[in-house]
Chains A and B, each alone.
Chain A
Amino acid sequence: MPGAGAPAGGGRRRAIRRIGWGSVALAGSLAGCGRGKADPEGPLDFWAMGREAEVVVELLAAFRARHPGVQVRVQQLPWTAAHEKLLTAYAGDALPDLCQLGNTWLPEFSALGALEPLDERLAAAGIPRDDYFAGILDTNLMPAADGASRLLGVPWYVDTRLLFYRTDLLRAAGHAAPPETWSQWRAAMQDIRRLAGARSYGVLFPLNEPDPLFALSLQQGPVLGEDDTRGAFSQPPFRRALDFYAEVFRDGLAPPMTNTQVSNVWDEFARGLFAFYVTGPWNIGEFRRRLPAERQKDWAAAPLPGPDGPGVSTAGGSSLVIFKGSRRKEAAWKLISFLSEPETMQRFHALTGDLPARRSAWRAPALADDPPSQAFARQLERVRAAPKIPEWERIFQEMQLTAERVVRGRQGADAACRQLDAWVDALLEKRRWLRSRRA
């Protein structure tokens, strides 16, 4: 506990501290022994999460054939515990050589100074930057102290949110094409609601999922101001998005439910409880597996409507990063460049359904000839990064809790947004202090 040791003084204190450091060193060397960290030739430690960790092991056979000298040890972390484990590993100096990192976690590890810049390596490997979707690559660029930005991660697979919809319900309501603007979208939802004795809602916005509302607000403008040190949720951009969102519920176009209350989203979608669902790429596979055969012709995906024309959406996914403390950066980079090859990305997509981060990998027929994937390809050209601050995840959650209160009528939108801004301002006080200290 560094905070407790600070007001030290006297010989005994120093002695205690020496013992303290001794045990830290001992623990460090023990951990080092176990992991072979001190040995630059030892096996490469690669932490990956969930399903990706299982699948990446299958890809490694090809990597071993090409680099017989590099041993790779993959450790699988469950998504729910990965964040805690990584931070604890940082605090305990036990990070692996390379890791899969959700791109919204990059700012945090960038603030910790734990990530190795990869600009030179990417250029040396001859991977053109513009082969990556611009909005996705941007989430990996972090401002450095000198004002320039550094590439701290290489996009591995990508994720965004767009519309999944029931083509038959939309047609029955008199709409031939999916909506492209908010007003078309609202009109389509109203027509579907009127259809067949109002059996169907227009859309499912699960009230515990912040992504749909955040995608809508990204289309309108920033939610943080003053160099990401203050909340701007009371400002017109976010308010327009929140108003649209809340109106959809108020007009009965969306059921006020959380994801856990809809016990099976796919059953309800097949049954027609809702016609639109804003969700991510994993649902392409899920819809194919879980919707009954006779419903398979009745669904499609389309880019997210914007205020006046196709709009932007969230820039999600995972990146591959190398930690600064690694002694095997060369080998780690070999693995990253192998995983970044278009052919590897295509195999990875075939195994997981995860969408590749490089445009050149999208030439595979499994993606190029697949209509729902193509909707994602179009959306990925229009994605925007979330604020790159460590506190973002927390603000993101609080934004949704605020929206839920507004939707459920517990609080007016004005008061709720003011309260959210005050909360964000308090949370970001340290950032303002750090900024003034630097200036």
Chain B
Amino acid sequence: MTRHGAAAWILAGPALGVIAVFFALPVAAGLALSLTDFDIYALADLSTLRFVGLQNYAHLLQTPLFWQALGNTLYFVVVGVPVSIGLSLAAALLLASRFARWQPFFRTALFAPVVTTAVAVAVIWRYLLHTRYGLVNQGLAAIGVAPIDWLGDPHWSMPAIIVFAAWKNFGYNMIILLAALQAVPRELYEAARMDGAGALRRFTDVTFPILVPTFVLVGILTVAGYFQLFAEPYVMTQGGPLRSTFSMLYLMYEEGFRWWNLGNASAVAFLLFVVIFCVSWVMLRFDRDAPGRR
């Protein structure tokens, strides 16, 4: 038994070592850092580093900018995740349809945005969303909608970012949902059809319940990813206009690398971690009670 134990430790050792050095240690260091006021003065002279306990957290919770960043991030998650997964589901259903032709081609084409570089496509999207010359506004003008200042108007900047992010990311979930759809046994559909279920009933009573565990997986992955909104506003709007696309991660980046307040930045990171952890936990609970698991 002990020999087994030793062998297990030896075999798992390298992996555990890597996890310890590259995960556990930085996380612990980050947590320690978030309890200090590490800033530009401490960088110059370590003797000016002060242990401040939970002050960074308390200060952040009183900062309007923090709440604005959290609000923007929640807006992005609450609207963006359903839009993104909805798109993925629609695309997956279309691809899985018996009537779909050229399936491998469309699967690749719809997946392509996922593997593009955010910075490069953001440049193209900036052209598309341009107030005066953009294709989007020209399309809207054709149906009689006045031009919208997508990236310059605080009310429209976040929807523009959501559309961009949903376009960029829906292909990934589409592949996962497509795999789940293709795993649904054909007999179930045949049986449902025998019982007289129409297309809608077959979706709500056969497809959907079987997909629920996949939805939870996709949901958790997407929520965790969308909470870390950064690249899109960084390249499209620089967090503006009027900080309307300023996200939690953007706040962390500014605190840490623009102002070099690593104490504050670490505190933001841990608060974001707590938020993502809570939301994921609630979603997992939801999964346990879900109809698909009965």
Contact residues of A with B, CB < 8 Å? 1-4, 6, 83-84, 87-88, 90-91, 108, 111-113, 208, 258, 260-261, 263, 390-391, 394, 401, 404, 426, 430, 433-434, 437
B46 to chain A: which residues have CB within 8 Å? 2
Indicate if B39 sits at the interface (CB-CB under 8 A).
Answer: yes
Q: Give residues in B with beta carbon < 8 Å to A.
A: 26, 28-30, 32-33, 36-46, 48-50, 59, 131-132, 149, 151-152, 240-243, 257-260
Does A1 lie within 8 Å of B33, measured CB to CB?
yes
Q: How many angstroms from the CA of A50 to the CA of B205 in the assembled complex?
A: 61
Nearest Cβ on chain A to B260's Cβ, whole angstroms: 6
Given known pairs A3-B36, A111-B44, the reply for A84 and B257 (CB within 8 Å) is yes
Partner of B48 from the list A87, A263, A426, A434 (CB cut-off 8 Å) is A434
Bound complex: CA of A113 vs CA of B28, how far in Å? Answer: 29
Is the Cβ of A87 less than 8 Å from the Cβ of B257? Answer: yes
Nearest chain A CB to B218's CB is how many angstroms away?
A: 34
User: In the docked arrangement, what's the CA distance between A111 and B131, Å?
Assistant: 44
Interchain CB contact under 8 A, A434 and B38: no
Give the docked Cα–Cα distance between A261 and B242 (Å).
12
B5 → A minimal CB distance (Å)? 22
- A430 to chain B: which residues have CB within 8 Å? 37, 39, 41, 48
A401 to B68 Cα, complex, angstroms: 14
Nearest chain-B residue to A398 (Cβ)?
B65
**8 Å CB contact of B29 from A4, A108, A391:** A4
Which residues from chain B contact A426 at a C-beta distance below 8 Å?
Answer: 59
A111 with B41: in contact, given A2-B46, A263-B131 (CB under 8 Å)? yes
- Give min CB distance, A109 to chain B, whole Å: 9
- Given A1-B32, A4-B29, also A261-B152 (CB < 8 A): yes
Question: Among the listed A4, A108, A111, A112, which residue makes an inter-chain contact with B33, where contact means beta carbons less than 8 Å apart?
Answer: A4
Question: Are B240 and A434 within 8 A (Cβ)?
Answer: no
Residues of B within 8 Å of A87, CB to CB, are 40, 43, 257, 260
Q: 9 nearest interchain CB pairs?
A: A4-B29, A1-B29, A4-B32, A112-B44, A261-B152, A3-B36, A84-B257, A3-B33, A260-B152
A–B Cβ pairs within 8 angstroms, 27 of them: A1-B26, A1-B30, A2-B49, A3-B32, A3-B36, A3-B38, A3-B42, A4-B28, A84-B257, A87-B257, A90-B43, A91-B43, A108-B40, A111-B41, A112-B43, A208-B240, A258-B240, A260-B240, A261-B241, A263-B131, A390-B40, A391-B259, A404-B242, A426-B59, A433-B50, A434-B41, A434-B48
Q: How far is the CB of B20 from chain A (nearest CB, A)?
A: 11
Nearest CB to that of B259 among chain A residues?
Answer: A394
CA separation between A143 and B133, bound complex, in Å? 52
Which residues from chain A contact B37 at a C-beta distance below 8 Å? 430
Q: Are B40 and A111 in contact, with the CB atoms below 8 A?
A: yes
Q: CA separation between A88 and B258, bound complex, in Å?
A: 10
Cβ B33 vs Cβ A84 within 8 A: no
- Kindly list chain B residues whose C-beta atoms are within 8 Å of the C-beta of A263: 131-132
Chain A positions within 8 Å of B258 at CB level: 83-84
Q: Which has the most chain A C-beta neighbours within 10 Å: B38, B49, B50, B242?
A: B242
Nearest CB in chain B: distance from A150 CB, A: 16
Q: Which residues of A contact B49 (CB under 8 A)?
A: 2-3, 6
* Distance, CA A112 to CA B45, complexed state (A): 8
A78 to chain B, nearest CB (A): 13
Q: Which residue of A lies closest to B132 (CB)?
A: A263
Complex CA distance for A391 and B42, rounded to whole angstroms: 14
A133 CB, nearest partner CB in chain B, Å = 28
Closest to B49 in A: A3
On chain B, the residues within 8 Å of A394 by CB distance are 259
CB distance from B52 to the nearest CB of A (A): 10
Distance in angstroms between the alpha carbons of A80 and B46 in the assembled complex? 28
Q: How far is the CA of A90 from the CA of B45 in the complex (A)?
A: 13
Q: Tell me whether B240 and A113 are in contact (CB under 8 A).
A: no
CA distance A153 to B83 in the complex (A): 53
Nearest residue, chain B, Cβ from A84: B257
Instruction: Say how far A282's CB is from chain B's closest CB, in angstroms.
Output: 20
Which residue of the partner chain, among B45, B132, B152, B259, contacts A258 with CB atoms under 8 Å? B152
Distance of A375 Cα from B40 Cα, bound (Å): 38
Query: A residues within 8 A CB of B152?
Result: 258, 260-261
Given contacts A260-B151, A390-B40, 7 further A-B contacts (CB under 8 A): A1-B26, A3-B29, A4-B29, A90-B43, A112-B43, A263-B131, A430-B39
Nearest to A91 among chain B residues (CB) is B43
In whole Å, how far is A80's beta carbon from the nearest beta carbon of chain B? Answer: 9
- A208→B48 CA distance, assembly (Å): 34
Whole-angstrom CA separation of A439 from B212 in the bound complex: 66
- Looking at the assembled complex, report how far the CB atom of B268 sits from the nearest CB atom of chain A, in whole angstroms: 16
In the complex, A261 Cα to B39 Cα: how many Å? Answer: 35
Min distance, Cβ B287 to any Cβ of chain A, angstroms: 36
A261 touches B44 (CB 8 A): no
- Distance between A164 CB and nearest chain B CB, rounded to angstroms: 23
Complex Cα distance A1/B262, Å?
A: 10
CB distance from B28 to the nearest CB of A (A): 6
Q: Which residues of A contact B45 (CB under 8 A)?
A: 113
A437 CA to B152 CA, complexed, in Å: 46
- Of A1, A258, A261, which is in contact with the most chain B CB atoms at under 10 Å from its CB? A1
Q: In this complex, which of A4, A113, A394 has the most chain B Cβ atoms within 10 angstroms of its Cβ?
A: A4
Complex: chain A residue closest to B256, CB-CB: A84
Q: Are B151 and A112 in contact (CB under 8 A)?
A: no
Q: How far is the CB of A103 from chain B (nearest CB, A)?
A: 17
- A contact residues around B38 at 8 Å (CB): 3
A394–B63 Cα gap in the complex (Å)? 15
Q: Is the CB of A260 within 8 A of B40?
A: no
Minimal Cβ-Cβ distance residue in B for A1: B29
Nearest residue in B to A113 (C-beta to C-beta)?
B44
Q: B128: shortest Cβ distance to chain A, in Å?
A: 15
Whether A258 touches B241, Cβ cut-off 8 Å, given contacts A4-B28, A263-B132, is yes
In angstroms, Cα B132 to Cα A260, docked, is: 13
| Nearest CB on B from A432, distance (A) | 12
Closest-by-CB residue of A relative to B149 is A261
**Residues of A with C-beta under 8 A to B44:** 111-113
Task: Please report the C-alpha to C-alpha distance between residue A261 and residue B30 in the assembled complex, in whole angstroms.
Answer: 39
Residues of chain B lying within 8 A (CB to CB) of residue A91: 43
CB distance from B119 to the nearest CB of A (A): 12
Tell me how far the C-beta of A92 lies from the nearest C-beta in chain B, rounded to whole angstroms.
Answer: 11
